[in-house]
Structure 1
Amino acid sequence: MLPVLAIPVFCVATWVSALNDPSSDLPRFGKPLNNLTVSVGREAIFTCIVEDLGPYKVAWLRVDTQTILTIATHVITKNHRIAVTHSGHRAWSLHIRETRKTDSGWYMCQVNTDPMSSITGFLEVVVPPDILDYPTSTDMVVREGSNVTLRCAATGTPEPTVTWRREAGGTISLSNWQAGSIVGPELEITRITRLHMGPYLCIASNGVPPTVSKRILLTVHFQPMVWIENQLVGSYEGQTVTLECRSEAHPSPITYWTKPSNETIANDENYKVETIPKGLYEILMKLVIKSVRAQDFGTFRCVATNSLGETDGKIKLYRIDKPPTTRRPGSRRESKKTWKIDHNHEKKAVKDEPMLKGDDIGDEQIDFQSATASSLFHRHLFINFGITTVTVILAGGLST
């Protein structure tokens, strides 16, 4: 039976001796066996260069299990993923297809000299990260003020690093500090608030692509809270008024308004109720009174209620005097302004009229100029007469 194993010390010594003695008739290794790193599922190929093999044979072995894999061109193991090839009896290659994590370890290329000569190489099968469904946390619902621990269990080779981030970005607030990311398999949050609510990402990476992540939605429940910016609103009858409340609650609350008479308000010809979401847990409540009536003066309530409680806010609508109507600009003033513009325009027209001379001026132009001059003369005469009359009246009054 062909001996296939040798003590590593003798193997190394034999290999070094063969390299240092080129004139020896024994086979020698052309170069050391390279270590390999491959991703799981890929093919790993060790190549052993043997110079002057002669009648000797090359065998491949798994060192840790002392298993003979191949001898010359024959595959000895029953592992169908193992194959051997050679090129000119010089380059001998061991093929391990569809590598598995269990294939990691030391492999030996051996020549059946006396004593045996061999070289070894290490195969590392790396595995991309994977996040286990258990005990990794799933979506969680908690009450505000409680303590929460999110867990992320990841496997892979090398061992993955777990990083926590908020899906929407921003910082993660812990008891006494904030950070954009937290490293570790667990994320502990004490005295949780509504600000912690939202999706978180558990990200596992180990340098082997692809990096994987899991989304965990953290929901915080709390009873409604109501904020009112203007608790006193003045109005007169017939005015359109908008009342506003801001509410925070989760689960989402049922909201409504009540009149001063404590009746619930529904949309009709005089009231319009609106609820506008502003985020994960914030809403804006609006009540539009289209035309304030006498019965509308008093206290309105905005109410928000969910399974954890009910909260309301109050806005008092009080009566104010209707502002006086603004007088439109008087027509008398406008008429006076218009008359001045027209009068100035006529004066400018007279000033700009060219002085025409010569026999070539037609009769029609002379008549038109005469008519214009006559019209201006009568107008100035009327103005002067009016001024004279006023002067006489004033003088008579003074003498009396």
Structure 2
Amino acid sequence: MTAAPPQSPRLFGRGSWLEDRRIGDILRKETIGGVLLLAGAVLALIWANSPWGNGYETLRGFTIGPKSLHLDLSVATWAADGLLAIFFFVAGLELKREFVAGDLRDPRRAAVPIAAAVGGVLIPAVLYLVINLSSADGQAKGWAIPTATDIAFALAVLAVIGRFLPRAMRTFLLTLAVVDDLLAIVIIAVFYTASLSILPLLATLVPLAAFTVLVQRRVRSWWLLLPLAFATWTLMHASGVHATVAGVLLGFAVPVLRSRKAGGPDAAPGLAEHFEHRFRPISAGVAVPVFAFMSAGVAVGGLSGLGSAFTDPVAIGIIVGLVLGKPIGITAATWLVTRFTRAKMDSGFAWIDVVGLAVLAGIGFTVSLLIGELAFGLGSDRDDHVKVAVLAGSLAAALLATVILRLRNRTYRRIHDAETVDADRDNIPDVYQQPAGSRTDTA
């Protein structure tokens, strides 16, 4: 009897029920985080442009921390180097889980969002360099600013405007954004390390190795793990490599699969899932909003100040990269993968869906602001222009994506209203129990 040939992976194809439910849980948390992130940014802008704007700068520049460990840092630096390490720790956990135990452990399914993320990094960087390469005052070093996608903002916008959009689109955006963050942290480590101290960098391996051994043995004791994590972060900071890299490495060290010794693979959630459950609310609800509050405040200076910012080639390059570069890069990379590989668009989806998500990925807030500070210096005039450009570009991308995806949401809503999706006694919708490709999930 001849075995049936394997089906080609489909872009935006329906994943497993467990994976789909997990993505839904993440979206609910990220939606709240996105609202808090926006609130932090708005409050910072209001305060920085109020008569009490000097107080905002005083708060950002206030120094705290032990001098003996060279950690007497400003509040703004603690937010960028310390709190964002939590954000990248969660990103590391999510990325590892996607590729070890998620639907994307299949290389054919993972190829599309990975290629999309790479395209969404390359094209914005190229467009920025085209605009700024001829400059002689170091403007080109900001090439990586428009390459990042903000997970919290993008998912929050998608959750608000796309209730009836297929969850596979949300899964695609989440995976693209996480891979995008990984590429961003590699860029930060490689291109934005001003000076490198080898001894602290090598010493980082000691607490990191101890942390890895403990988590591989399923140790959850905070009084053991947190000191090792802090030591890893401290030594990474001392080495000259941006300290958020430590967060990613610590996330990668956590095992994803359940312990077989504890009664089989279905005995209990994996340790990565446990840590993600614990730290995601801290990341989305505290770390990222506080960073936004400490980084987004820029004194615009009225219309003249805005005019100065928007005529700066750096700001122009950032806005073009976010609003045009992101959708061009993501859409082109997705088309190339579907054109030259076995990956195919799932029935019921259109390329306008890809374009809508690609435009939405142009919301580059958190990591873009971080790279801007590393490229031009915290508090510099050019750093202020970077903030204005990131805010303007992200807002433009959000508005354009809202228009596109709201129209698509209406289409999927009509499909949803015309169909009846019932659940069996096991509370799993029938659509997840049908052969793959037999129908399109629009719930």
TM-score computed with the length of structure 2 as normaliser: 0.13
Higher share in helix: 2
Higher share in strand: 1
The structure with more radius of gyration: 1
TM-score computed with the length of structure 1 as normaliser: 0.14
Q: Which has the higher contact order (CA 8 A, sep 6+)?
A: 2
